Structure 1
Amino acid sequence: MLIDGLQCGHFTRETFADLRQADVGCVTVTCGFWEDAVESLDSLAKWRDLIAANADLVATARTAADIRAIVASGRTALLMGYQNAELFQGRIRLVELFAELGVRCIQLTYNNQNSLGGSCYEDEDSGLARYGRQVIDEMNRCGMLVDLSHVGNRTTMDAIRYSKKPVAITHANPDSLFPHKRNKTDDVIAALRDNGGVIGCATYRNITGDEYCRTAEKWCEMVARTVEIAGIDHVGIGTDRSHNFTKPDYDWMRMGRWTRGVDLGASPASRPGKAPPPDWFVALTDIALIEKGLATVGFSPDEVAKIANGNWLRVYEDVFGG
């Protein structure tokens, strides 16, 4: 059974069926990137309708116990998440309200500086703001996982040190293995380990690199090298797989409403459009290759289980309860 720390895109019944076929037990889905509070509520309501229409395949999870029960029922558990904190609109009380609506994972910043702290693409990372500390306090209290994937390294380090609960880098890789602004430095990953958190290794080609995308075993070698940095108890899967995105979706994801120009996000200028999937991960069902690949590169059955699901479940229990 696999737990994927983050996917995004337009999910359909076919997507859910593929998740079931690949024995994916839980996925954190992306409900928004740049949206404000009302737009985020609208997205969450649409997700509720989609899940209700496919209740034989998926269900919403709020606790680790929910995840286990949903998996035992033969379905995939979905955790509701957002890749930006813009949905709070500077209103600290909205953290608790969104938590009560079932939101369980929020990234502090997306690709731009915001009122909580700095992003990975700013020339100067401002660090965690006073408001950012207040939001982390509320997220800790209300049972929301703090996600630091697109957050700048200084702000990430501040957040790791400040949070009273384990935090996560749901979809990134070590910068020492593939240098990229979206990836995390070894000292940040070590701090995450000390916090009790988890880094979800990504399969997104732009932050993984062509070499680690060649085969499932090569990608699992990258996971093994991440374990050397973080430790076996602090590495999971966070593919960053997108579903059914077209150019307008990528434009919104990368540029939102903040620029009149062109921003490529994580893409190099030589490959400005959609990044090709890893050579081994063309169909969503190929995610099932990961557990075999982990065993092939030398992980024991117990270690495979930790990376595949156990480490995420531990963090979810610590943060959500259950």
Structure 2
Amino acid sequence: MALAQERLCYLRSVINACQDWLVVASGQDAIETAHAARKMSVSFHFQTATPLSGSLNLVDAFLAAGIDRAILAYNEANPFPNGCHEVRNARLSALGRRLVERMDATGMRIDLRHCGTRTSLDVLDTALLRPPCSLIPTHAPCSITSAGF
């Protein structure tokens, strides 16, 4: 978590130094506003949800800091989901279910890229306020389309 905070602070300082042509834009409206102002826009996300493993309250804190999306796993399992490179093809953990629910409730977007097939299906079976931002888990095994589950 500390490393994620440190890098986020560093990136914000770089962006602030370039604010005449570069802005942080989260969501379509902010991106369109930046485009209309002829500025480049960037947004922040986590490539894996592991920075959130210390406490689910970190979802709120990182969302407030500008992290608006998190990929649940980067190829390998973590305390929340199974990754697409894992042979065991495990389901979303109980803690992972709570994380998905917390992310959805706060508005942090859930990204299924790099997640395992069963984990992705578990998330898709969850009653969410908004769908995951990667409905086609492009990095999951092709078996997600088979009837074997």
Pairing 1:104–2:68 present: yes
For residues 150 and 187 of structure 1, the distance between their equivalents in structure 2, rounded to whole angstroms, comes to 13
Aligned residue for 1:162, secondary structure, equals coil
Pairing 1:59–2:16 present: no
Label 1:107 to 1:121 Cα distance change in 2 as closer, same or farther (>3 A).
same
* Larger helix percent: 1
Contact 1:79 1:105 in 2 (8 A): no
Aligned residue for 2:125, secondary structure, equals helix
Aligned residue for 2:134, secondary structure, equals strand
For residues 101 and 18 of structure 2, the distance between their equivalents in structure 1, rounded to whole angstroms, comes to 35
For residues 184 and 121 of structure 1, the distance between their equivalents in structure 2, rounded to whole angstroms, comes to 9
Pairing 1:162–2:126 present: yes
Q: After superposition, what is the alpha-carbon deviation per residue over 1:64-88, rounded to whole angstroms, capped at 9, x for unaligned?
A: 3211211111112211101111111
Give the Å deviation of 1:90.
3.5
Aligned to 1:185: 142
Which residue type is aligned with residue 166 of structure 1?
A: P
| Structure 1 residue corresponding to 2:10, chosen from 46, 53, 63 | 46
Q: How does 1:145-294 map to 2 (within 5 A)?
A: 145-164=109-128, 165-169=130-134, 173=138, 182-185=139-142, 187=144
| Seq. identity, % | 24
* The structure with more radius of gyration: 1
Aligned to 1:213: none
| Structure 1 residue corresponding to 2:39, chosen from 68, 72, 75 | 75
Contact 2:112 2:120 in 1 (8 A): yes
Label 1:78 to 1:184 Cα distance change in 2 as closer, same or farther (>3 A).
farther
Aligned to 2:54: 90
For residues 41 and 171 of structure 1, the distance between their equivalents in structure 2, rounded to whole angstroms, comes to 30
CA-based RMSD: 2.0
Aligned to 2:80: 116
Give the Å deviation of 1:170.
8.7
Give the Å deviation of 1:187.
4.7
Structure 1 length normalisation: TM-score?
0.42
Give the Å deviation of 1:117.
1.4
Give the Å deviation of 1:53.
1.4
Unaligned runs of 5+ in 2: none
Give the Å deviation of 1:169.
2.8
For residues 143 and 33 of structure 2, the distance between their equivalents in structure 1, rounded to whole angstroms, comes to 36
Contact 2:115 2:137 in 1 (8 A): no
Unaligned runs of 5+ in 1: 1-36, 174-181, 189-322
- Number of residue pairs the alignment of both structures matches: 144
Of structures 1 and 2, the one with the larger relative CO (CA 8 A, separation 6+) is 1
Give the Å deviation of 1:146.
0.6
Contact 2:120 2:137 in 1 (8 A): no
Give the Å deviation of 1:151.
0.5
